[in-house]
Amino acid sequence: MAKAICDTFEWNTAVPKEDITIKVEDGWIYLSGDVSWEYQRKAAKHVVENLLGVKGVINSLKIKQDVKA
């Protein structure tokens, strides 16, 4: 299942795959890491939640705060 998720992230340009850590446990997908935008956070969850065998998605992705003085 982890391979399918990586492939799905590879095909979706809205998902910054290098910033996301994936954990698969008993059909549950755990997403963690930091992304730059809310649409990336939502896209990551959306592309994996409909994969075959996924029971649920825990989306712990956080939005990076890029504040410059």
| Cα angle: 49, vertex 58, 47; to 5 degrees | 25
User: pLDDT digits over 14-67, tens only?
Assistant: 898 888 999 999 999 999 999 999 999 999 999 999 899 999 999 999 998 877
Which amino acid is residue 49, in one-letter code? E
69 — pLDDT class (breaks 50, 70, 90): low
18/68: higher pLDDT: 18
Give residue 27's pLDDT.
92
DSSP state of 18: G
Q: What is the CATH number of domain 2-63?
A: 3.30.1340.30
* Domain locations along the chain: 2-63
Q: Is the pLDDT of residue 3 over 90?
A: no
Give residue 2's pLDDT.
83
